[in-house]
Amino acid sequence: MLSTASVLVAGCDGTHDSAPARLMDDSPAAELHVEFEDVESQTVLTSVGVLNAVEVDHLSAVGACLQQDWDDRPSGPIVVRVGVSGESVTFRNRSRRGLYGCDNSEGPREEDRAWCGRVFGQLYAGELRDPRLDVGACTTRAGGVLGFAWIEPHTGVQYVVVEQSGYAEVYEVAGGLPVRVATTSGVETEVSRAAFDVSEHTADGTLIRKYRLVARVAG
Amino acid sequence: MWRFRAFVVCFVAAFFLGAAGAAAAYHTRFVASNCNTAAPTPTSYITRDGSAAVALRARYEGYQWAGGCWNDNDLDDSPNDPTTDPATGGEGGDCSGFTFKVWRESVTESDASFYQWGMLRNVHGPYTASRYKAGHGAPNSTVPKSSLIKMDALASESHIGLVYATNPDGTDQIIEAKGEAYGTGIWTRTYRGDSSYGGVRRTGWSS
């Protein structure tokens, strides 16, 4: 009875005694046979898919993201990611000077929007000058606030690992686009800021670099 | 030979002095020395003229990426900071931070009530220009551009400015935090006729 109660309590506040086995869309987290250097937390592999615009169902959630009132049409790869608490879509425009994205979570949102968060980033010679933090609009079912940001991985990086509370989320680099990551810890809504503890790794898990990204809402 | 040595000494000295000067310009202490984290004052109503007065106090002040703190000395106290670097701690809001304060909004997106923030209160708020353009947050709604009046906004994915007045030729005088090279001010703009801009209105104006 006591051990059952403990298990029930453990998940309520968003922390995890063990790595979550399922992602936000209730799909099982795929097994990951990579040991990440200098990562002590249990890891959860997020899912990633790369589509092109003609493959997207207009009636789907991804379709709803692409059909928002953007100032340009998507061009090139559309990267769709699903994590434990958040999911995202990332795409570029035709001129390759703009990076666009939608962020989402399981929590309530205003006006029944398909996506609770939205983001744009200007690209300068193909690169962002800012991680384009989105914070405050998306929450977990338990009410925790999510922060989302783009990571531009170093050359040779295959995996971006982001520490969460009790585990680490693993994002596979895909589509040649910055990696949209999420965090439920390190979010400070009062100052519109979030901190992400990030490590970048090669395909075999070798550490390329490790850092804390402190992002602020801007622009 | 001594001339060559003198030249090298002078060159090295000039190099380090130049670097020191550049570093001082990039890392101002405006925010650290002047700004605060005081709580806002809830207010029961806002008017367009009242918000215009708030906006005008930022005119001629600086611009700071992710920023939201300025004084009222009609001077950019931290000019030429590197763009898109929030760590420089300079004076001014960016375009969305300026709009957030002028519109007297809450850091809680579901809260549409009104909060008076002090000029020197360093706050940006949760919205970007892109999110304003989409009408995200309880206080913000999208409206047709043809209906925009004083203190409504025109927003693109990357910028937002507030209507200060409309010119007879249909252009607008926009008050905006434009960029490091420009600071915050009023300029005539054609955002209303630009398809990349949409109309945004703060909800709840009393007048």
The pLDDT assigned to A30 comes to: 92
Would you tell me which residues 34-93 of chain A have a C-beta closer than 8 angstroms to some C-beta of chain B? 68-71
**Which pLDDT tens digit goes with each residue over A31-88?**
899 999 999 999 999 999 999 988 999 999 999 999 999 999 999 999 999 999 999 9
User: In angstroms, rounded to a whole number, what is the distance separating the alpha carbons of residues B90 and B64?
Assistant: 6
- Give chain B's residues under pLDDT 50: 14, 16-25
**Residues B142, B196, B86, A157: what is their CA dihedral angle, to the nearest 10 degrees?**
110
Q: Measured between alpha carbons, how far is A66 from A53 in angstroms, rounded to an integer?
A: 8
C-beta separation of B95 from B160 below 8 A? yes
User: Largest alpha-carbon pair distance within chain B?
Assistant: 79
Asked if B101 and B67 count as a contact pair (C-beta separation under 8 A), the reply is no
- What pLDDT does A101 receive? 98
What's the average model confidence in pLDDT over A191-197?
97
| Structure-block tokens of residue B203 | 């909800």
pLDDT at A10: 38
Please, where are the H alpha helices in chain A? Answer: 2-10, 61-66
B125: Cα separation from own chain's centroid: 12
How far is residue A153's CA from residue B59's CA, in Å, rounded to a whole number? Answer: 39
Q: Mean pLDDT over residues A139-162, rounded? A: 96
The residue count of chain A comes to: 219
- Predicted pLDDT at B186: 98
Q: Residue A156: left (phi > 0), alpha (psi -120 to 50), or beta?
A: left
Contact by Cβ (8 Å): B105, B133 = no
Which residue in A has a C-alpha nearest to residue B178's C-alpha?
Answer: A219
The C-alpha atoms of residue A142 and residue A165 are separated, in whole angstroms, by 14
- Interface A–B counts its CB contacts (< 8 A) at 86
| Backbone torsions φ then ψ of A100, nearest 5 degrees | -125, 155
d(CA A100, CA B157): 9
CB contact under 8 Å between A216 and B108, yes or no, is: no
Cβ-nearest to A120 among B66, B126, B158: B158
Q: In whole angstroms, how far apart are CA B207 and each of A148, B47, B51, B105, B106?
A: 37, 5, 11, 17, 20
Task: Of B56, B87, B98, B53, give the one whose Cα is nearest residue B74.
Answer: B56
A122-126, A136-140, B83-87, B129-133, range with greatest mean pLDDT: B129-133
Nearest 5°: CA angle at A126, between A122 and A132? Answer: 40
| Contact: B157, A132; criterion CB under 8 Å | no
Q: Is the pLDDT of residue A5 over 50?
A: no
Give the per-residue pLDDT at A2. Answer: 36
Pairing mode, strands A168-172 and A43-45: parallel
Global pTM value = 0.89
DSSP for A147-166 reads EEEEE-PPTT--EEEEE-SS
Dist. CA B175–CA B163, nearest whole Å = 6
Please state, rounded to an integer, the average pLDDT across all residues of chain A.
91
Considering only CB atoms, which chain B residues are within 8 Å of A217?
66, 96, 124-128
Which of B197, B58, B42, B48 shows the shortest CA–CA distance to B112? B42
SS3 B155: strand
Residue B41 and residue B62 in contact, taking contact as beta carbons nearer than 8 Å: no
pLDDT at position A111 is: 80
How far, in whole angstroms, is CA A58 from its chain's centroid?
22
- Indicate the SS3 state at residue B31: helix
Sort out which chain A residues have CB atoms less than 8 A from B66's CB and list them.
216-219
Q: And the tokens for B49?
A: 């003229």
Which of A135, A189, A218 is facing B66, going by the closest CB pair? Answer: A218
The whole-number pLDDT of residue A110 equals 81
- List the single residue in B66, B83, B195 with the smallest CB-CB distance to A217: B66
